[in-house]
Amino acid sequence: MENLKKYLLPGILGVVVVILLYALYAQDTDTIFVLSYVLGIGAVIGVVAGFLVSAISNPQGTLRSLIGLGVLVVIFGISYAIAGSEVTALYQQFNIDESKSKMVGSFLNLTYALGFLTIGSILFASVLRVIK
């Protein structure tokens, strides 16, 4: 396991950086998209694997993770519900229809909500620290 951390992960990072730099130099957007898909899928696999290992080693902690995931799903649901689905002439130039516009709007709303929650929790923790 120590060799994995010491050699494999920096090696993967080096390969990703080299591919990204080549794609940027060659202005090859297809390679950048494929690389982003591969990294995204790898991140999802890592998160799922980490959750499963955590669930097996500490089943009581799994409940907290599921509650957090449920809160994220609820926040996304609210973000999706309030997102607009308007399509302007500019959007049509990029082949964006109503469903894509609504999805982009919902992810923007989700980003705003999570940002505000983060700032609010930092301020709340600071106030509690001052009170104590």
Tens-digit pLDDT profile for residues 18-29 = 888 888 888 877
Asked if residues 23 and 35 have their Cβ atoms less than 8 Å apart, the reply is yes
pLDDT reading at 1 higher than 70? no
Instruction: Kindly state the average pLDDT of the residues 42-53.
Output: 88
Asked if residues 99 and 85 have their Cβ atoms less than 8 Å apart, the reply is yes
Q: 65-124: per-residue pLDDT in tens?
A: 888 889 999 999 999 999 998 888 888 888 888 999 999 999 999 999 999 999 999 999
pLDDT on residue 32? 81
pLDDT reading at 44 higher than 80? yes
Three-class DSSP category at 8: helix
